[in-house]
Amino acid sequence: MRVLLRLHVLWTGLIVATTGALLAVEACWALARPESGTLLVPWRVRPDRLTGISWSQPLVLVCAAALGTVGILLLVSAGLARRHDVPMTAPAEEITVVTSPHSLARLVGHLVRAQDGVKSASVTANARRVRVRASSTWQSDDQLRPVLLHTVNHLVRDLPLIRQPRVEVVVKAAKDRR
Amino acid sequence: MSRRSAAAMVRSARTDRMVATVMALIALTGGVTGLLVGTGVFGTAAAERPLVGPIVVGWVAAHRQGALGIAIVAGLLLVWLGLWLVLRSVRPERIPDLVLDPSPAAGLTVTAAALSDAVRTDAETVPGVARARVRLVGDAADPAMRITLWLQQGADLRAVWDELDAGVLGRVREALAAATVIPTAVRIKLDTASRQRVV
């Protein structure tokens, strides 16, 4: 998202620079050759025709909608362009240590999949929460869930994290066999 | 954790966010205003009014040269602003050298490449570290170090950590005889590589 944000700023800069250059060039041309047409831009803005365009015209509404959409996209990009690192305790004052949510999820995922009775597992993690979704072919939710909760909590407590995330485990248990 | 070391973790996106937010607010304001007026929320009379008022058009027609002058200045300002945005976006992150002694008589500078290579090689000897990447960030007056470590599966994180601070970074401080500590941001990627089997 940070890369996307930088791209947004890049294309915005290109549009602004191009618009400015065209405006300056056409204005200079109009000043130098008032009777001739435009130099680069293929249409000429006639002041008397401008007064004939009202706010309610479809083109104006479409442009307004497009502008609003671009504004929303830029705002969302700016809002989401934050790193969601998981801070860890640092060994010294001038050191900052972090890991990524993806890293934490991978570590927990390996551990969970290695447990007896776990057929598959998916893990999502962030600084506040670790959520494990596991499925089992032969163990019930009551059997497997406490084991996984204990194991993951133990792992997470062992990690030097600044804030201990809350661990949630959901088990899709085996169907009852009769 | 200090502010300087935390700031070294990633290339700052604060200016990009500010620029995007300002552009977003301008675009949103224009878009929302256009839609509200054009769809008749403020009345049919407002919706039927011209986009550019006859007073403005009359003024421009009467002061053609002045209006063109304003357009030229506005155009040049937009070019300057646009180029600044583009250059900011494409400019790579600065990699400062470390100036240990700025005196002209006996200046001593350690290049970023030399220091990064040395620290990376040292970090990769730490048990449990599969790979390391090191770079200097910031500027010559305020350098910092950014280290990324890829740990092997099952690596003892605390042991890696202790060795990193006491060993790797301790040797950097010793070698540079630095009066001030270089703020360091460490990103740890856990559990990335399998342990190598020794047959």
Structure confidence at residue A42 (pLDDT): 66
Q: Assess B63–A contact: CB distance below 8 Å, yes or no.
A: no
Residue B64 near residue A27, CB atoms below 8 Å:
no
Q: Looking at residue B104, what is its pLDDT?
A: 73
Q: Which of these ranges, A79-83, A168-172, B66-70, B118-122, has the smallest mean pLDDT?
A: A79-83
Single out the residue of A129, A127, A137, A128 nearest to residue A171, CA to CA: A137
Q: What is the pLDDT of residue A17?
A: 94
Share of chain A above pLDDT 90, in %: 31
ipTM of the complex: 0.71
Task: Answer whether B190's CB lies under 8 Å from A99's CB.
Answer: yes
**pLDDT over 60 at B194, yes or no:** no
Using the beta-carbon criterion (under 8 Å), do B89 and A13 form an inter-chain contact?
A: yes
pLDDT at A176: 45
Write the residue in A13, A26, A81 that is nearest to B85 by C-beta: A13
Of B136, B190, B181, which Cα lies nearest the Cα of B160? B190
Q: Which of B8, B35, B165 sits opposite A92 (nearest CB)?
A: B165
Per-residue pLDDT of B29-72, as tens digits, reads: 999 999 999 888 888 888 888 888 778 878 888 888 888 899 99
pLDDT digits (tens, 9 = 90+) for A76-108: 888 887 778 899 888 777 888 889 899 999 989
A51 to chain B, any CB pair closer than 8 A? The answer is yes
Mean per-residue pLDDT, A31-37: 79
- pLDDT category of residue B193 using cuts at 50, 70 and 90: low
pLDDT tier, B1 (very low <50, low <70, confident <90, very high otherwise): low
Average pLDDT of chain B to the nearest whole number: 84
Rounded (5°) CA angle B174-B178-B182: 100
Distance (Å, rounded) from C-alpha B164 to C-alpha B159? 8
> So what's the pLDDT on residue A47?
61
Residue A57 forms contact with B (CB below 8 Å): yes
Lowest mean pLDDT among A10-24, A69-83, A92-106, B4-18: B4-18
Element housing B187 (H / E)? strand B184-193
Q: Which of B8, B9, B83 sits opposite A17 (nearest CB)?
A: B83
| B88 part of contact set with chain A, CB < 8 Å | yes
pTM of the model: 0.72
A177 CA: distance to closest CA in chain B (Å): 37
Q: Report whether B67 contacts B60 (CB < 8 A).
A: yes
CA distance A83 to A1: 9
